[in-house]
Amino acid sequence: MVLIVGVIVLIAVNIIVISINSRRYTTFGFERIAISFVAPFQELVTRSIDFIQGIWQHYFNLVTVSKENYELRKRLNQAMEENNKWRELELANNRLRDLLNFQKRITKRVVAAEVIGKDPSAWFKTVIIDKGKADGLTKGLPVVMPEGIAGQVIEVSNHYSKVMLIIDRNSAVDALVQRSRARGVIKGESADRCRLNYVLRKHDVRVGDTVVSSGLDDVYPKGLRIGRISDVVKRNSEIFQEVTITPFVDFEKLEEVLVVLDLQKHDLVSQQ
Amino acid sequence: MIYCYYISVCLILVILQTTIMPHLPLLNRCYDLLIPFIVYLGLSRPARESIPCVLFMGFIMDNLSGSPFGLYITTYLWLYVGVRGITKMLEVGKRLLIIALLVVTGVLIENFIFFATFRILGSQSQLTAEAYHQVVYQLIWAIGTGPLMLLLFRNMQRRLDVGLKGFFNHKDKRKINLQATAHGQILKNR
């Protein structure tokens, strides 16, 4: 009986204390000790969990990001490659458009060819093009560019030909100074410039004058641009002046050329 | 087989210097890459193997270049003869300095023959400063890369020899085994 009463009293006291405490928050200092004691461990464990969780999540994130990065890089490379391809196509298109316009301007029949190889030696300036006998090319045909004369076909196989550029030492083009009509022969110097030989001292030749083909060599059509005079030296003791010419064609960037076909010969070949 | 290898090396070098190198800024002034190969042939290979290869290389270069036909054949033959002569006088072995000097000499010989030809043919009375710069660039390239190329050729040749030896040994062993089996079968049947 006493036990039952005691339990009831205890429950009542308990309820009273809880209800009082719930209305007014009071601390006794033990909580602080407990917190101070437990919290560091809690913190440690929580942080560790967070850390591991972080690593775990980051790892997966990194794996995903890495994969994504790889994919994006791949796509970027592809895009760059595509972009480069389009740019190349655009440039080729422009060049071919120029060639086409030039082809319309020139009255003779021409064949467009691509440069596929350059001379293995630094001392000779020849290129190999991808057109040959099968396309109507023969030895001696002139090779031109929209900017001016490039060279002459010196060897022909079935599908390829060798072209000697005007900057080669063995090349010679009969030329005229456009303004004064002074005549001379352009010889290559194996660098990217030529020399206009046999121009008499009395002739009026100035730096900046344009030099064109005279058509007298029976190779190059008359009036095709060759280059601009970059230097003139007149020596009192010599009959001729030393004239240096910078060609209009950039031979370092030669990619496509036009071969001017000899119409008569070509017609004969096609008739045969 | 060895000729196929030489032809392949020659074609690779020629294509490299006619299509790729002219478009690269510094390499467009490099020397003739066949020179180290000829030096290598002169140093390490017998004449019966080397001379046809040297002639082949000269022929290809003469055809591709705007040079008078025969200039490269002549140059390469003289170069080869010169290297053979030097190897008879000196013990070259694996001394990098001498190898580098040989490649440099090769480049000089080639340029000398070219200039002499220009002079004889009268295609140009005087050589420009740019021509000298060109030679200097070629020599610098030759000093830097010549010995490396020679070592590369040696290494490739060694690998090829080992591969061929292994292949033929294997073939011989198989042949012997087959013969032995056939012989054993005959004895058994008797």
Inter-chain CB proximity A128 and B18 less than 8 Å: yes
Would you tell me which residues 46-75 of chain B have a C-beta closer than 8 angstroms to some C-beta of chain A?
61, 64-67
Domain residue extents for chain A: 46-105, 110-271
Residue A35, pLDDT score: 59
- Which pTM does this prediction carry? 0.68
Residue B36, pLDDT score: 92
Minimal-distance CA residue of chain A relative to B23: A252
Chain A: give the shortest CA distance to residue B178, in Å: 50
Q: Which of A125, A211, A223, A233 is nearest to A171 (CA)?
A: A125
Structure tokens at B131: 């021509």
Measured between alpha carbons, how far is A177 from A214 in angstroms, rounded to an integer? Answer: 9
Inter-chain CB proximity B18 and A119 less than 8 Å: yes
Of the candidate ranges A61-65, A100-104, B80-84, the one whose mean pLDDT is the lowest: A100-104
Residue A217, pLDDT score: 84
Inter-chain CB proximity B118 and A169 less than 8 Å: yes
Residue A174 has pLDDT above 90, yes or no: yes
Measured between alpha carbons, how far is A149 from A215 in angstroms, rounded to an integer? Answer: 12
Q: Which amino acid is at A136?
A: G
Residues of A in contact with B66 (CB under 8 A): 119, 121, 124-126, 154, 162, 164, 168, 170
Reported confidence tier of residue A267, pLDDT bands at 50, 70, 90:
very low
Of the candidate ranges A128-132, A171-175, B59-63, B97-101, the one whose mean pLDDT is the lowest: B97-101
DSSP letter assigned to residue B90: S
Phi, psi dihedral angles at A185 (to 5 degrees): -120, 125
pLDDT digits (tens, 9 = 90+) for B19-33: 888 877 777 788 899
Q: Could you tell me the CA-to-CA distances from A217 to A214, A220, B151 in Å, in that order?
A: 8, 7, 51
Of the candidate ranges A113-117, A250-254, B89-93, the one whose mean pLDDT is the lowest: B89-93
On whether any CB of chain A is under 8 Å from the CB of B131, the answer is yes
Between A130 and A266, the higher pLDDT residue: A130
pLDDT digits (tens, 9 = 90+) for A143-168: 988 888 999 999 888 889 999 999 98
> Are B114 and B35 contacting, i.e. CB atoms less than 8 angstroms apart?
no
Residue A269 has pLDDT above 50, yes or no: no
A130, A136, A137, A139 alpha-carbon torsion, rounded to 10°: 150
Query: Tell me: domain A110-271, CATH 2.40.10.340, correct?
Result: yes
Q: Which residues contact A96 (CB under 8 A, 6 or more apart)?
A: A112, A256
Q: Which amino acid is at B130?
A: E
